[in-house]
Amino acid sequence: ESINKLDQRRVAIKRVSLKKSSSKERALKEIRCLAVLNHPNLIQYYYAWHECPPSGWQEEKDGNLMATNNELT
């Protein structure tokens, strides 16, 4: 869970590694399905984006996040 800095809404973020073309196709199918769903028992889909961060970026950010979470508990 995170807070959108622009509108202050609570959001869930799903990050997926897309190293294989089959993974990319599966992710696109999921995005398209979520985009048309509208049900009170499902989390509402807002948007998706594609990034190509530098190598090692994910591990560094995850380490920072875990350290922050440990300080809060």
Q: Which residues have CB under 8 Å from 72's CB, separation 6+?
A: none
Residue range of the domain that includes 44: 2-72
Counting the structural domains of the chain, the total is: 1
Strand residues in the chain grouped as ranges (E): 2-3, 10-11
pLDDT band for position 63 (50/70/90)? confident
Contacts 24+ apart (CB under 8 A), 10-16: 11/46, 12/43, 15/58
- pLDDT, position 37: 93
Span 33-59, mean pLDDT? 86
Rounded to an integer, the average pLDDT of 49-55 is 80
Token pair of 70 as six digits = 């440990």
> What per-residue string of b and e applies to 33-51 under the rule 16 or more CB within 10 Å gives b?
eeeeeeeeeeeebeeeeee
Q: What is this structure's pTM?
A: 0.59
The more confident residue out of 36 and 15 is 36
In which band, very low, low, confident or very high, does the pLDDT at 30 lie, cut at 50, 70 and 90? very high
Residue 29 banded pLDDT, cuts 50, 70, 90? very high
